[in-house]
Structure 1
């Protein structure tokens, strides 16, 4: 459950920052302390999003900002209202409606930059969780190896029961090391993927702020 607590924290942090905080205040209050029942990969047109969806109290919560960005939809927070505009809606407007003033273009550019910053912050929170998981797994690996050394260096015994118990303990420690090694590899791969996503978003941010 500690794992899900980290994940839920990451989702909430991303949601709050991505929407300037106030829009999700009530929702965040209702989710704090709730049990996360599952995690799902979200795919848009066959491509998986970086952030996963979670299920809390029987309801699925998806990363709104990532979904809207992947669909090419515009998203803007106005007070306690989240406005989403698809490309179809934008193209259906009259020329007069779609004509943008310099001030509006500047506002849209600022919103885009804020969106990028929010996504970077959200992904970093996920990365932090897996970094903590990796550290825990590596610490456990040290303990398992130490246990094997202790069992291996125990004085020889002619007692059959003692020999059998040592054999079982050694097998158990070796099995734990193998399983832990798989987890370490998995965690490192996740962290590397998050680093890649963060680098791409930071490059976009650097281009947008020039």
Structure 2
């Protein structure tokens, strides 16, 4: 009888220890489950909109990390509970032992589904950037027409010159982005064929 009581008491003590330890551990972990999304924001990287939006939960913005790193040309790796982000500058500097290996291998080893998702995303980036560029080129044409029509108005000429310069810079940035996206798209297609 005494043995049963001692086992019961030991079991009760172990249960209390686990219950209090579990609660303390659970209090340390913040979870978004059940939280209310207070808002949603579109995300632009270098002037180009991402396909995924950021959300605001509990006063903090949560951005789509994969989409952001991909659009910046950085690599993202999840290792256990650690997320590793490496810019293309850092990854290329680490490749000193094998100079033949270039950035074109950054998609090698990705699962087919991820490659296909990335391909779709890059194709959308190219299409959107080309549309933006076309729209800006049309704006330049309008500025040029306005300059000939209102050549005597100095204030308007200054504003048009400023708008023209700004638009030309944005066109150049769009062209750089298009070239980068097309280069990445070629790398994804190469990884898909292997």
Q: Structure 1 length as normaliser, TM-score?
A: 0.44
Which has a greater percent of helix?
1
Q: Which has the larger radius of gyration?
A: 2
**Higher RCO (C-alpha 8 Å, min separation 6):** 1
TM-score, normalised by the number of residues in structure 2? 0.48
